[in-house]
Amino acid sequence: MTYCVGLRIDSGLVFMSDTRTNAGIDSISTFRKMHVWEDPGERVIVLLTAGNLATTQAVVSLLDERSKSIADRVPTLLETPSMYQTARLVGNTVKEVISSHADAGQKADSYFNASFILGGQIKGTPPRLFQIYPEGNFIECSEDTPFFQIGETKYGKPIIIRAYDRAMSFAETAKLLIVSFDSTLKSNLSVGLPLDLMFYEKDTMRVGFKKRIGIDDPYYRTVSDGWSNALKNAFKSLPDFPET
């Protein structure tokens, strides 16, 4: 499984993804699910991936190769005129990869499906955030729903719903995401450390803060342990049920 979140705040976009993949419970590996393309000062594109690893790797490789070899199909990920066109390009690539495996060759027991969160900014346009479906279509985040989750989304959702505020700083948002991921990690073994965290600051067109957070990360440990205690204290602060 997987857990990825892309979140919009006033000051930019924040992304977090886990790195665990599994083919059955007895075959667990670590793979990066956060992919970044940057043309400094011009554009930053971030893609988070969930689902079939062969599919997501093929999509990322195709997008990547096409951005390097201009002889191949244009426009590439570094040349699309808008984030909307970027989402279309990714969506079409997803559709192409899935149909090429699903329609021919040996049938697999499971589907080749994959989902994506795409975010970024192209100079002269605002930062945008999309969720892309296996069918290649996509939706954009709005004022009402300023974040997307893919993969194992449920355990970590209640805290985001309750604590998110668009005026949050990056440091607060990173804390929120770590709490949300920690709840998910504690509930589903197929989501695992390390985590990739990235902050894109609006209008910079450059990769901002980027970090891999492992089991030894002292801040992660502080939040993980602290959140358990803070939750217990929050719980104690409420009045007990009146048995009348």
For residue 28, the minimal CB distance to a second copy (Å) is 21
Q: How far apart are CA 197 and CA 34, in angstroms?
A: 9
Residues in the site for a second copy, rule: CB under 8 A?
Answer: 154-155, 157-159, 161-163, 169-176, 178-179, 183, 186-187, 199, 209, 219, 222-223, 226-228, 230-235, 237-243
* Shortest CB 96 distance to a second copy, Å: 31
What are the residues whose beta carbons fall under 8 Å from the beta carbon of 123, sequence distance 6 or more? 41, 42, 43, 205
Minimum separation from the CB atom of position 188 to a second copy (A): 8
How many other CB atoms are found less than 10 A from the CB of residue 66? 20
Nearest CB to a second copy, comparing residues 80 and 184:
184
Eight-state DSSP code of residue 10: T
> Which residues lie across from 131 on neighbouring strands?
117, 139
Nearer to a second copy, 91 or 201 (CB): 201
CB of 197 to a second copy, least distance (A): 8
Smaller CB separation from a second copy, 130 or 170: 170
Edge-to-edge strand ranges of the sheet holding 43-51: 34-39, 43-51, 114-122, 128-132, 138-140
Please, which residue, 68 or 221, has the CB nearer to a second copy?
A: 221
